[in-house]
Structure 1
Amino acid sequence: MLYDAEARKAASEAYPELGLDKLDVELGFYEGAMGSGNIAPSPSTLKAALKIAEDPASIWRSVILKVLAPNVGPAAFNDRVKWIEETPEAFEDALLEVDRRQAEDGRILLIVFDALDVLATDWDSIRTLTRGLARLALEMSARKAIRIKMFMRHDQFEDMRRKTFADFSKLRTAAVALTWEPEDLYGVLFTRIWRDNSARPVLAQLGKELQLQLDLSKSDLPELIKVSPSHQEALFATIAGEFMGTNKKRGRTYTWMPKHLADAHGETSLRSFLIALKEAADRSSSAIETAIDHVGINAGVLKASDTRLEELREDHPWVDDALNALSGLTVPCAESDVTELWRAAGTVDLIVSHTNDARPAAPIQLDAPEFATVPEKALLAALIDLAVIERRSAEKVNVPDIFRVAARIKRRGGIAPRPKR
């Protein structure tokens, strides 16, 4: 959204207090970056640069210099890295000049670094590059009108915290977790319904029955429906029914959905939420009184679990090997039940053997010295960091439904896992 000028303009109009209209945005790295004429280097370019750079931060100074002053220094990436290390004042001069100019114009130059988990195909290189970028981001925080924004996975951030550098606490203080609260999820749902010209009158009528005055002439959904859980819950009950069954024993639909779509950190992705609702709507029929019901919502969670696990496999191919060994397990269970299944199946060796350029990046934790004699515990720590497994009291662990049902892991009284095909 930040890089897309149209999306940034729309967000600026919706949230004028953020000052998004004053941003000039460039991409310093993103998934699919190809280097060459682009500002963002490719992973292969970064790999080559690591071999010649004395300081990994110099690699990112080279990227930023291309943003600040494209015609300053050598054109070839590695030559520019070496040149910056030999003549650091050239980078500093360009930085100060652009910072002064942006400040005078009342503009902020924002350089975005996204998808830091694909900087390289091995964690040692990813770590080195990420820490170099983080140190540079800390240096840049002293500038008036130039900022660096980094998007990284939770497990990467935690790894950087464990293997930190001086003043990392300052970056940690500035970090913001990107999460969707339940009221945010339902706010998106009702906003999408409201913006559909054929659906808006129906939503307004449902609101009227609840003594909620929704003005059909307004293009924007009333703020109350965007942010108020009590009003959202009442409105959602008219669409999906109040309970996940005939009574409150199975839970209320409004709270049940985000809870059963959440990972071990208690976070629900918007994508999972919308996939579950779409599946529930697709399964609707004239036999039910509401637009969707608890049966459709259950099916929606199964669909969302399939999709979420597939996304996880794409980002972390090793997760497949780890979860396959747990198929048929019933949770909650003892940590030792999980690690013993992995030990018996030789899962850690399997993951290591599958790690190559085509299937990169075994979990970071396998490199940690504290797990050298018990690598299965490293695997457990990795899945806990990814929010696939949650640790409970008395050395018990659980797998949230969003991963459990697609991985064919059982839970007493829970949604039945996806059957084998």
Structure 2
Amino acid sequence: MNHFELIREQFRRLDPSASHELNAPPSVADLYTPADHESALDTDRPLVIGDRGMGKTFWTSALSDPAARSYLAGVYPRLMLERCDVQVGFAGVDMAREGAISQEIFSQLEGRDGYPAELIWRAVIYRAASKGTGLPQHPSFNSLLKWAAEDAERFQNSLRQIDESIFKEGKRLVILFDALDRLGNNWSEIRRRSTALMRVALAFRSYTGIRLKVFMRTDQASDPSMFAFPDASKLTQGRVNLLWERRDLFGLAYSQLVRAPAVRHAFGEVCSSAVGLSLPNGSSLPDRIKHDEPVQQEIFAAMAGPYMGSDWRKGRTYTWLHNHLADAHGRVSPRSFLVALRAAALQRPEPTSKVFDARGLQKGVQVASEARVAQLGEEFLWITAALAPLADLRVPANRDVFLSRWEDHRTAGSIATAAHRDGYLAPVEFGEKDGGATSDQLLEALQRIGVAETRPDGRINMPDIFRVASRLLRKGGIRVSTNLS
């Protein structure tokens, strides 16, 4: 095989569907560490906001795993992660090791037993922090909460005692909270319990040894009532938005080539020819290839050609791919990016003098669109019902034409009814009252999560990453395919 064939074969072997949970943390070989993600791992930054697929659960599982955390400590030395012990307080799964609580247990403690949500969260923290301290241990959350409620001063003094002990040892205990959208069966429950956690996180900013770190969905963070309590701005002003810049995505893709021994030499030859850079020994990516966009662009042009057509008017391949995978907020998930590259590598007939061609990259966006809409449907169970009536609509479209599709199908009301009947979360814009949902609120929900956007002229548009799979049309846009296999 020549260099391009070896690289193409490696992209074909990518597994973008791989995900990580607490019981299956990423291996060190799976870790790619964008410079901008340092703040997301900083134990002094308690609130991290991100969309699905941006890495919230990935970083939760990596931080909770000693081997992965040790590697991250070397990459981000400023964070001093080698001094940290990490426990999980909530992750949306069954009650797990070291004190993590499940939604079912939380509901029983709050609903059946009447304990306040804030006290439950403090009990989660105490249970995670008190092991091996000599302080009272309790066989269940119920007995712990009973003990805590009997004497609030004693309970808080015990937490402070643990905190001081950790600090004197030169350590930090970091307690992670993820998947807050699984805290309840409706927005009212989720909002109440999440807000209680935010109150506790604010209170623990005064602790020196114990740190809380909360990974939250973007739509929850945009709910004003989530932070409707005094001094909440001390949390929100320091929030970290978990994003993947274009350079991070291409760096991630190139790292897949550097780490594969059979392909490393081939990729090195491409880099040497394109930008005069030699790859050092080992599996790390040189900083210029990791961070320098003009360098990345030249390397990608060597693999895919510089343009999507005969000249610049069709767009440069480097910027074109990112632009067509971006949502309305300009965000691209790493999974979408790798799905697109894999599909482009699988395209037939194969180009002979490069890794990808323009047809392959277009196919990549088609396949990534299907994958992204399916991924979004796992998080927002109402999204399929919202997008189905829009099929064959040409965008950008006048607002009234766009909304009329939903009005004709009574989509907003049907979503609200189905969510209430089947027990899943409707768009937060609908509020808590049944039957009050409107098409305007549904459009607002799509705009909030980046699926739709309002153009300066007032027309409604949908980015290609959602448009193609949803079968909407756009003049001159990527063709809607009926067979993406």
Q: TM-score range by the shorter chain?
A: over 0.9
- Partner AA of 1:21 in structure 2: E
Equivalent positions of 1:357-396 (< 5 A) are 359-367=423-431, 375-396=438-459
Give the superposition deviation at 1:89. Answer: 2.0
Task: Name the counterpart of 1:10.
Answer: 71
Q: Aligned in 2, Cα 1:201/1:73: closer, same or farther, shift over 3 Å?
A: closer
Structure 1 partner of 2:85:
24
1:111-146, Cα deviation, whole Å (9 max, x unpaired): 000011111111100000000000100000111121
Report the AA paired with residue 120 of structure 2.
I
After superposition, give the CA deviation of every residue in 1:56-87 in whole Å (9 maximum; x if it has no partner): 21121121111122573653324433543342
User: How big is the alpha-carbon RMSD for the aligned residues of Structure 1 and Structure 2?
Assistant: 2.3
Equivalent in the alignment of 2:161 = 97
Note the alpha carbon deviations across 1:281-312, whole angstroms, 9 max, x for none: 12254444211111111111111111111111
Corresponding residue for 2:186? 122
Give the CA deviation at 1:216: 4.4
- Which residue, out of 301, 310, 320, partners 1:237? 301
Preserved CA contact (<8 Å) 1:57 1:132: yes
Shift of 1:49: 2.5
For residue 44 of structure 1, the aligned residue among 100, 104, 110 is: 104
Q: Quick check: 1:322 aligned with 2:383?
A: no
Distance 1:91 1:214, change over 3 A: farther
Q: Secondary structure at the match of 1:310?
A: helix
Q: Residue 374 and residue 309 in structure 1: after superposition, are their counterparts in 2 closer, same or farther (change >3 A)? A: closer
Q: With structure 2 as the length reference, what TM-score do the two structures score? A: 0.81
Match of 2:54 in 1: none
CA contact (8 A) 2:429 2:445 kept: yes
Contact persistence 1:56–1:129 (CA under 8 A): yes
1:172 aligns with 2:236: yes
Aligned residue type for 1:208: S
Structure 1 residues 65-80: aligned runs within 5 Å? 65-69=126-130, 72=136, 74-80=138-144
Task: Check the 8 A contact 1:119/1:126 in 2, yes or no.
Answer: yes
**Which aligned pairs between 1:236-275 and structure 2 lie closer than 5 A?**
236-275=300-339
Equivalent residue number for residue 137 of structure 1: 201
Q: Answer 1 or 2: higher relative contact order, Cα 8 Å, separation at least 6.
A: 2
Secondary structure at 2:185's aligned position in 1? coil
Distance 1:356 1:253 in 2: 45
Q: Percent identity?
A: 34
Aligned to 1:56: 117
Q: Tell me the amino acid that sits aligned with residue 122 of structure 2.
A: R
The structure-2 alpha-carbon separation of the partners of 1:211 and 1:74, relative to structure 1 and needing over 3 Å to count, comes to: closer
Q: How many angstroms does 1:355 deviate by?
A: 1.9
Deviation string, structure 1 residues 207-249 (Cα, Å, up to 9, x no partner):
2223423144344221111100000000110011111122211
- Taking a change above 3 Å as real, the CA distance of residues 359 and 306 of structure 1, as seen in their structure-2 partners, is farther
Give me the whole-angstrom Cα distance separating, in 1, the residues matched to 2:149 and 2:399.
Answer: 49
In structure 2, the CA distance between the partners of 1:215 and 1:345, relative to structure 1 (3 Å rule), is: closer
CA distance in 2, matches of 1:320, 1:211: 45
Q: Which runs of 5+ in 2 are unaligned?
A: 1-61
| Equivalent pair of 1:121/1:360 in contact (CA under 8 Å) | yes
Structure 1 residues 162 and 99: CA distance shift in structure 2, 3 A: closer
Residue 31 of structure 1 deviates from its aligned partner by: 2.5
Cα displacement string for residues 306-348 of structure 1 (whole angstroms, at most 9, x for unaligned residues):
1111111111111111111211111112333232221221112
Q: Where in structure 1 are there 5+ consecutive unaligned residues?
A: none
1:204 touches 1:216 (CA, 8 Å); kept in 2? no
| Aligned mates of 2:92, 2:481 — CA distance in 1 | 32
Q: Give the secondary structure class of the aligned counterpart of 1:210.
A: helix
* Distance across 2 between alignment mates of 1:380 and 1:394: 16
- Amino acid of the residue matched to residue 299 of structure 1? K
Tell me if the contact between 1:61 and 1:91 (Cα under 8 Å) persists in the aligned partners.
no
Question: What amino acid sits opposite 2:363 in the alignment?
Answer: A
Does residue 189 (structure 1) correspond to residue 249 (structure 2)? The answer is no
Distance in 1 (alpha carbons) for counterparts of 2:324 and 2:345: 18
Matches within 5 A, 1:333-412: 333-355=397-419, 359-367=423-431, 375-412=438-475
1:127-182 C-alpha deviation (Å, 9 max, x unpaired): 00000000100000111121111111111001046762111111111110000000
- Indicate the residue corresponding to 1:199 in structure 2: 263
1:59–1:81 Cα contact (<8 Å) kept: yes
| Cα distance in 1 between the residues matched to 2:368 and 2:398 | 27
Q: 1:12·1:20 contact (CA, 8 Å) conserved in 2?
A: yes
Give the letter aligned to residue 191 of structure 2: R
Of the structure 1 ranges 7-16 and 311-320, higher mean CA displacement relative to structure 2 is found in 7-16
CA distance in 1, matches of 2:446, 2:80: 38
Q: Which residue identity does 2:109 align to in structure 1?
A: A
CA distance in 2: counterparts of 1:287 and 1:392, whole angstroms: 37
Confirm whether residue 109 of structure 1 aligns to residue 181 of structure 2: no
**How far off is 1:36 after superposition?**
7.2
